[in-house]
Structure 1
Amino acid sequence: MTEAVQKTYLDHLREDRRYAAMVGLGFSSGMPFMLVYVTQSAWLSEARVPLQLIGLMSWLTFAYKLKFLWAPLLDQFDAPILSRLLGRRRGWIVASQIGVALTLAGVAFGDPGARLWWTILFSAALGVAGATQDIVIDGWRINAAPLEKQPLMGSFAEMGYRVGNLAAGAGALYLADRFGWRAAYLCMAALMAPGMISALAAPEPAIDLVAARHSERPGLAAAIWAPIKELFTRLGPLAVPVLLLIAGFRMPGYLTGAMAMPLFKSLHFSDSEIATVTKIFGFGIAMAGVFACSWLVPRIGLMSSMLLGTVAASAAHLSLAWLAGHGGEFWAFAFAVGVEAFAASFATIVLITFMSSLSKAEFAGSQYSLMTSLCAMPGFFLAGFSGLIVEKTGFVLFFQLTSLIGLPVALLCFWLWRHHREAFSLHHAPGAPMEH
């Protein structure tokens, strides 16, 4: 048993400031996405913005799907002034956090009922700033700790991220109900402070300090193409199956997420019951999945955990199919949400670790962003048709079908596990060529 496994989470937080910084950075990363559209949609509804326009404004989150386009620039170039003071990674982190805070303040001083263009402008800018923050935080996480510590780094990031989601979701709604939307968004801007403090306290990765001193500044086209070329060259013949695995790994989750809330409302659960089960109870269960994954990966290996994660996450959707057919008992609701939340959080951490293992230090932010965009795109587009499918099939068959989507992904994962597990072990250097 390794020393990392024997220690408790509190031991790690006390002994290594990288983990504590990761919690704070995860918190600031978890806030903007909710505030671009999900939480703001309640404000738009209150302002009587037409439903068609509210739906179209969900596209403001598209920056998160396209972040791979400018991620290479953040890997190769410094942030003005801040990078000279803090290093390239931390300089960009603080710059993006300032951008998030300023755009949140911009949204706060808008009025979607009277000046919708103002809200759209600052919300779009918020999406870009939030996506930029994700790029540089992921790059810092990958380079700040060795691969064998990435399950713990991912777990601490997920802890902070989910608390940030709570603050930007339930917290912002509570503040808006009590003090108004302007105060709520200004408070959210102020809550970027813990992330900035974490960025200032975090160590700049040594490999980035060396790279910043000795690297040449590439041209724009070279900066964008270099990480893609390096990833495909290193993976070799495994590039296609690996990227297909990433693209399909969370696809069932995106489809399920789009129709979960309509299912709960169709079963006549109240808003308070949904909030209690999905936000409070579900948060605790999801954290249990995070802890279980970081505990298990060092014991059974990365590819074994990937196989377990994809099977569990897909099969867990059967709990929602069971709920749809079983009826509206509260205990059944809590059970189904708990099963799905545990499996989804477990799968998320193991996927984060897997993608981190594939990212070379020099291109950490851009390669990881490319893979997260690849992971999100298929499910993001298919989720748009989920309502049409439910109208034809009903909820029970819909969730049964989404669980079956995970079958070919599990078979692909099994093939990689059987024939190439050593190439994806926690002790395989990210920059080393894959063994075929």
Structure 2
Amino acid sequence: MTQTPPAAPAEVDVKPKGLAVLKVAFRERRTLAMLLLGFSAGLPFAMLIGTLNAWLTEEEIPVATIGILSWIGLFGAFRFLWSPAVSWTPPGIGKRFGRRRSWLLVLQVIIAVALGLVALSHPGAGVLGPLAMGAALGAFAFATQDIVIDAWRIEVADEKTPIDLLSTIYQLGYRTAALAGGAGSLLLSEVIGWPGVFLTAALLMGLGIVGTLIAPEPVPSSRTAIARERRGSPRLRLIVLVATLAAWAWAAFMLVRFMVTALTTSPAPSAGTFTGSWGPWIVGATVVLPAALAGLIVWKGRAATAAEASAAPKLADTLYDAILAPLVELMGRLGWGAVIVLGLILTYRITDGVWGPFAFPFYMGDTGGALGHTAAEVALASKTFGVIMTIVGIALGGWALLVIGRMWSLLLGAVLSAATNLLMMDLALGAPVIGGFMSATGLYGLFGAVGVGEPLARLMLAIAGENIAGGFAGAAFVAYLSALSNRTFGAVQFAVFISLALLIGTLGRGALGELIDAQGYAPMFMIAAWIGVIAIVFVLIEWVRLGFEARKIAREGTATV
């Protein structure tokens, strides 16, 4: 009698789930590296975009001169223009440290040197050359570092350290650096002076270097996998490449021309005005047009065969692989869903971005429903308490990502971001709701016990709600964008996503300024809340799309079994 062999034991799912991911993840060096790299990304931004202006203001540098330096923020907004460059490995140290870590080490050293140049300048004596050089060099370097960190995060994520967790840890490190580089720098400047503050920041970039050294180097994608996106005929690819390079050359010309004008004209033009006027056109020429052309390639052309993909690339194909292949892959993967994804990206964080430039006039002004607080009160409420609340929101967002999932977290973040605009609207109307709530709950007494008066207490409560919601939504949004990016093309794809999210907030600011002058601040917050409702709708549609895609993949998988 023939015995039936015993059945193979069923596979046990040992993947960590929910908060159990934390226990597994914090045994990993990737999480510590991510925290330090997040700090390395946030510190130079806080020092060069915000804290530097505080030093210049204290030295009584004219506002027009400070405006000249505002253009360095353009490096962050238009980082996607040079994001393909990080697909190549730096010569020399690349063989020892790998592509991603080599770039990080080079850029972190450049940032430290740039902060040192700023520290050695003497703005009070009118010596602004080293300061401007250091600020520009540092801004370009930290914008490029962001590209590499984003790519590293996408490439090293796996089931033990999922992208949601790494994105949250990155945000925590970034915001901690913002607190240290903002409120911490202001306090430290009273003790060691501003040069000492910037030298300290240069030394603190060593934490980023430590993070780079302990970070594992991702396994690079094969050239064959990248070349698979060489769809269509060589002639079609060449036409699309030339059109894209022409559009990018025009964008680079516009940026360089603005920077030269800013340095040679008095009064200097505003970077915010330039971004608002030309930003949408630049994005259209350098992102929307190439994406549309990439969609044409997907529609018209077949994927390269294995033999074609393994052939030695010509210069045109090398440029195509770096610049257009990421967009071709994205459009081929998303298809019609690209419209939904674009709508979500453009609306999700606009509730914060669209009224952000008006925050300090709202807090400190005395017309149109503005609150009339002092600079010291705003520094306490926004730059210290507000940043702490943002960190709380990020932590809650990370918890939600692990427990309820990415799309639930994204939806909740959109709802909170829209709703908390109503807190600011209530302040602009005299705080009838917030004031009544604080009286009924005894919060006025709690704030009073630490020396905070009622007007400032109302502002701090509103900022707490706004920043917790912003931190929560930010964690969910970065996790979503990271998951949306392909590991092979993460550097370019994520840079494009972030640039779109940053630039869209500039649209409509001029009209909002006119609205504030005519009707006060309250209508602006109502408009921001309604835009948030549009983001909620896009999240719901995207959720349906992802479910449809998951079911389609499941059916195809079943059909092949």
Tell me the CA shift for residue 414 of structure 1.
1.7
What amino acid maps onto 1:314 in structure 2? A
1:238-294 Cα distance to aligned partner (Å, 9 max, x none): 112211211221111112322222222132333343333323433333233222222
Q: Pick from 45, 51, 54: which aligns with 2:57? A: 45
2:523 alignment partner in structure 1:
397
SS of corresponding position for 1:380:
coil
Amino acid corresponding to residue 468 of structure 2 in structure 1: F
CA distance in structure 1 between the partners assigned to 2:133 and 2:510 by the alignment: 24
Residue 170 of structure 2 is matched in structure 1 by: 157
Q: Work out which of the residue numbers 141, 151, 167 in structure 1 matches 2:153.
A: 141
What is residue 111 of structure 1 aligned with on the other side? Answer: 122
Provide the residue aligned with 2:325 in structure 1: 226
Match of 2:504 in 1: 378
Aligned to 1:172: 185
Change beyond 3 A, Cα 1:225–1:122: same
Aligned to 2:109: 98
Residue 180 of structure 1 deviates from its aligned partner by: 2.2
Give the letter aligned to residue 163 of structure 1: T
Identify the residue that residue 28 of structure 2 maps to in structure 1. Answer: 16
**AA of the residue aligned to 1:364:** G
1:124 equivalent among 131, 136, 141: 136
Structure 1 residues 77-136: Cα deviation after superposition (integer angstroms, max 9, x where no partner): 012323211111111111111111111111122233413343222211111001011111
Contact 1:12 1:19 in 2 (8 A): no
Q: Post-superposition shift, 1:229?
A: 1.9
Identity of aligned residues (%): 32
Q: 1:221-252 deviations in whole A, cap 9, x for unaligned?
A: 54122212221121111112211211221111
Q: CA deviation at 1:151?
A: 1.4
Give the aligned residue type for 2:203.
A
Partner of residue 391 from structure 2, selected from 287, 292, 302: 287
The alpha-carbon deviation at position 140 of structure 1 amounts to: 0.6
**Cα pair 1:303 1:424 within 8 Å, conserved:** no
Equivalent-residue separation in structure 2 for 1:238 and 1:154 (angstroms): 23
Matching residue of 1:264:
363
Q: Which runs of 4+ in 1 moved over 6 A?
A: 212-217
1:333 matched to 2:459: yes
CA separation in 2, counterparts of 1:276 and 1:245? 33
Q: Tell me if 1:248 matches 2:347.
A: yes
Instruction: Note the alpha carbon deviations across 1:5-30, whole angstroms, 9 max, x for none.
Output: 23385x35641111111111100100
Question: Which structure 2 segments of 5+ residues have no match?
Answer: 1-13, 227-311, 366-370, 432-453
Cα distance, 1:385–1:23 mapped onto 2, change above 3 Å: farther
Q: Which amino acid aligns with 1:407?
A: V
CA spacing shift, 1:14–1:309, aligned 2, 3 Å: closer
Aligned length: 424
Structure-2 separation of matches of 1:112 and 1:254: 31
Q: Which stretch of structure 1 is more off in the superposition, 30-39 or 283-292? A: 283-292
Partner of 1:200: 213
CA distance in 2, matches of 1:346, 1:247: 18
RCO higher in structure (CA 8 A, sep ≥6): 1
Corresponding residue SS for 1:115? coil
Mapping of residues 302-381 of structure 1, within 5 Å: 302-326=406-430, 329-381=455-507
CA contact (8 A) 1:72 1:363 kept: no
Q: 1:382 to 1:167 in 2, by over 3 A?
A: farther
Distance 1:89 1:343 in 2: 32
- Residue type matched to 1:100 in 2? I
CA contact (8 A) 2:164 2:406 kept: no
Query: Match for residue 82 of structure 2?
Result: 70
- Aligned CA RMSD, in angstroms, stands at 2.7
Offset, 1:382: 4.1
Q: CA deviation at 1:321?
A: 1.0
> Which has the higher Rg, Structure 1 or Structure 2?
2
Instruction: Mark the CA change 1:387 to 1:121 in structure 2 (over 3 Å): closer, same or farther.
Output: farther
Question: Structure 2: which amino acid aligns with 1:365?
Answer: A
Equivalent residue in structure 2 for 1:85, among 96, 100, 114:
96
After superposition, the Cα gap between the structure-2 partners of 1:34 and 1:182, relative to the gap in structure 1 and judged at 3 Å, is: same
More helix as a share of residues: 1
Task: Give the whole-Å Cα distance in 1 for the aligned partners of 2:323 and 2:81.
Answer: 7
User: How has the CA–CA distance of structure 1 residues 174 and 351 changed in structure 2, closer, same or farther, with 3 Å as cutoff?
Assistant: same
- With normalisation by structure 1, the TM-score equals 0.89
Q: CA shift at 1:385, angstroms?
A: 5.6
SS in 2 for 1:177: helix
Residues in 1 aligned to 2:463 and 2:550: alpha-carbon distance in whole angstroms: 32
8 A contact 2:185–2:197 mirrored in 1? yes
* Distance verdict in 2 for CA 1:179–1:389, change over 3 Å: farther
- The 3 A distance-change label for structure 1 pair 145 and 222 is closer
Structure 1 window deviating more from structure 2 (148-157 vs 262-271): it is 262-271
